Every structure is written in structure tokens, then in C-alpha cells.
Structure 1
Amino acid sequence: MATHLLTGAGSGIGAAVAQRLLERGDRLWLLARDAGRAAELRERFPGAETLVGNLADPAKLAWAFGHQTLPLELDSLLHVAGVVELGPVGDTPVKVWQETLAINLVAPAELTRLLLPQLRQARGHVVFVNSGAGLTAHAEWGSYAASKFGLRALADSLRQEEHGGGVRVTTVYPGRVATPMQAKVHQQEGREYDPTRWIAPESVATAVLTALDLPRDAEITELTVRPGR
């Protein structure tokens, strides 16, 4: 039975991944921003363990984990949580930049640092669910794309650093996925939201599990998923 720690399990891709892992009998640790959210996740995913830590304040993650019991080994660390706020660079305030970079980039880096001993022990796998915006930046996507370009760099550096010890690193680049975040993006863009036009979260979950389940003689380093309609 493999052990996984997952961010973003509350909705969208994260919820789909968590459900798939739970259904096949794996052990789940789910990161929650506060105790109330942790209780909601345990109710939604029976048998899952929870850790409390606010990704919006990555400097406090080490302190928070120091007061909780962590898994002894981790077969995977799955970074799925993220935020987006669209707007021209000329109109984007510092607060948006700081929050976006904290949650989408700095927190994954810190979470990975804190859990690397457990991942190394298990010769585990780190998966970063990135975005098409981590490959191409468009107008009004500046802060989000910058965070995702940075996340790509983080994954590439981590892969080179940890490859010799057997830790695998995968970046998944989904296109537009039918999630609550996508509904928010459409609202910000002033467009009508039709979820049937976009990738189902379950399809991205399948891509993530494909990377996790690949035999140890190979490694999927990058995987791009695009809408098929």
C-alpha cells in the first residue's frame, strides 16, 4: 500500500486524484489550510490522514509540521493546489503577486524541502500539477504564468538533484480543466463557462496516476494534457 501526501484535495483535480488513490486502497495524507478544512476532508475521504498548514504562508509550514505527526515514508508528494488572479501587469498589485507566488511556487518548494527525507527513504515521486501557462504566457496571465514558469524550474532542478537517489519528478501541464478555478477564470475573462468544453478533472487524475504507476526503469518527466474536443 503506497502512501501519498496531496495538496488541493478539496476540489477539482486534487479531489479527483485523492478519490482515485483512495479507491485503490492507498494511504492518503491531505494538506488542509486549517482544522475546519481538515475535518471536512476527513469526512469526504474516509480513512485519510490530514496535516494542517497554510500554503499562503509558507514560512510557517515548518513550525506547523513541527507540532504534528508526519508520515515516516512517502511514495509520492502531489502538488495540486493553486490560485489564479487575472489582470494586466500594469494593474496587478503587489498583494496579488505575493499571494500567487506564495501558494503556487514558494509553498511547493518549502513543502518539498520539508518532506524530502521521507521521499528519499521511499525512493518516492514528486508530481507538480502545473498548467499550460507554465509553458506559454499570455496577456493578463502575468502573475499566474510567472508562478507556473517558476514551478517548472523548481521541478527541473529538483529532478537533477534527486535523480541519483531514486526520487522521480514529474510535471503535468493540463490545458483548461472543468474545475471551480476554471469557472472563476471565465468570470474574470467575461466569458460564458461551459464545462463540457474542457478536460474533466478525472482525465488529469488518470495522467497523474499513469506517471506514478510507471515501472521503476522509466520516468515521465513532463506530460502535457490538452482538451480533446
Structure 2
Amino acid sequence: MTEVQNSKIAVVTGATGGMGKEIVANLVSDHHVYALGRDQAKLDELVAAHGDAVTVVAVDLAQELDAMDSVLPALERVDVLVNGAAIAQAFSVESARVSDWRAHMELNVYAPAELTRVLLPGLRKAEGTAIFINSGAGRGGFGDNVVYAATKHALYALADGLRKSEQDIRVTTIAPGPTDTAMFQGLSGDYDKSHVIAPVEIAKAIRAVIDAGPTTQLTEVQVRPRIELADRK
């Protein structure tokens, strides 16, 4: 894999998920996208859809924490990094075990922290944007979903700390509410797709962040359903 000359470079983790596929599809219009995911068949679908605009990388980020610098080629510049890979399983404090906490922290917090660290030189050179996909759970307490929510609280702290320490890059947290993805389906069971956020809207939010003028940064973007699920009659 070699960096495409004279192209803006985007790196997207969780690229084969419901949001990830839409994010890749949006970014390929003006970036060469390095798409990271675990499912080779779905990665191949990205190549079939977008051709040479995408370089796919089959990787389990949680398993590569100690070798993250070998996951990608040496990229001289990184214009956009979207940390989107995550897992979400419903646990209470009582039901969760150390292995559950560890698995969620490794993928939802440690992996984006380490990948961002590795790519910082390229982000600095491009004066790029590091984006962390958070969740509505990152600002609330949920007794039956405490492990996932805790990792998203931690991800806010990671993004905020990075922003304060890195003046050459822009850092944004994008926090979707309930979105039509396999992850949300696994947490909530049946739901009406028309009542939740379409994944393409998250890609549009990322585009707004990237296209923000050079004198500003959109530090936090909350993407909510038109009508909150709890408010529906």
C-alpha cells in the first residue's frame, strides 16, 4: 500500500459498519480513503463500490494495540481521521465482568487513542481533523448499558484532552443518537427505521466538520432524531 500522490488522505475505522460505509462513500469524493475493518468480504464491497479511491485494511484494532504503527503504511499526511470502530453490548454493573469492561475499553478507547497517537505526525503536517464517533450515551448514565456508556464518557475526555494539547489539528466529537445500524439493533431489538437517524446523516455531519472554515473548529456535534424516541406518542 502506498500513499496516493497529491490526494487528501482520510483514515476511517469501523469502515464496514452502517455508519462507516456512508462515511467512506462521502469522503471518496475528495479524499483517498484508507478503510479499516474486520470483515474482509465487506471491505471487498467497498473496493467494488469505490475502486482505486479506497485502500482497505483488514484488521482487528483491539488485537493490534501493541503494534498499531504497523497497521497502516507510513502516511506523510493525514487530512482526516475518523475513529468509528466500536462495540456495544448491554451490561449493568452487576452483570458485567472484567473481560466485558476490558473488551469495550480496548476497542472503544484504547484503539482510537493509540491510532491517533501513531497518526499525529501526519495530522499535524496536514493541519488535519481528528474525529471521534461518540454516542448520546457519552453524556448520560444508563444502568443497563453502563459499560458502553462509560467508554463513551472516556472518549469525550480523550478528544477534549487531545484538542487542548494539539494546536496544529482540529478535534471533533460527533455524538449520534439512535441510528439505524446493526449495533443499535443489537441493543434495542425491534424499532421503526423511520424513527431513528439514517447513517448517511452521520456522514453529512462529518462533512460539515471537515468543511468548516480554517479559523474555527466544530468541537462537538450532537446528531439527534427529529423526534426523540422517548417523546413519540
Shared fold by TM > 0.5?
Answer: yes
Q: Give me the identity figure in percent.
A: 33
- Report if the CA contact (8 A) 1:58-1:106 is conserved: no
The equivalent residue for 1:11 is: 17
TM-score normalized with structure 1 length: 0.89
Matched, 1:83 2:81: no
In structure 2, which of residues 20, 33, 38 is the aligned counterpart of residue 28 of structure 1? 33
- Report if the CA contact (8 A) 1:53-1:61 is conserved: no
Deviation of 1:43 (Å) = 3.1
Matched, 1:168 2:170: yes
Deviation of 1:100 (Å) = 0.6
Deviation of 1:63 (Å) = 5.8
Q: Distance in 2 between matches of 1:104 and 1:54?
A: 12
- Report if the CA contact (8 A) 2:16-2:43 is conserved: no
Q: Distance in 2 between matches of 1:115 and 1:177?
A: 28
Deviation of 1:52 (Å) = 4.0
The equivalent residue for 1:62 is: 68
Q: What amino acid does structure 2 have at the position aligned with 1:60?
A: D
Output one character per residue of 1:119-143: Cα deviation in whole Å (capped at 9) or x when no partner. 1111111000100111112111111
Q: Distance in 2 between matches of 1:89 and 1:57?
A: 25
Unaligned runs of 5+ in 1: none
Q: What amino acid does structure 2 have at the position aligned with 1:224?
A: Q
The equivalent residue for 1:223 is: 221
Matched, 1:148 2:152: yes
Matched, 1:106 2:110: yes
Q: Distance in 2 between matches of 1:34 and 1:59?
A: 18
Aligned residues: CA RMSD? 1.7
The equivalent residue for 1:203 is: 201
Output one character per residue of 1:6-61: Cα deviation in whole Å (capped at 9) or x when no partner. 01110211111111112x23211111337666545433432211234322224233
The equivalent residue for 1:183 is: 185
Provide the aligned length of Structure 1 versus Structure 2. 220
Distance 1:219-1:25 versus aligned 2 partners, 3 A rule: closer
Output one character per residue of 1:91-150: Cα deviation in whole Å (capped at 9) or x when no partner. 112221111111100000000011111111111110001001111121111110111000
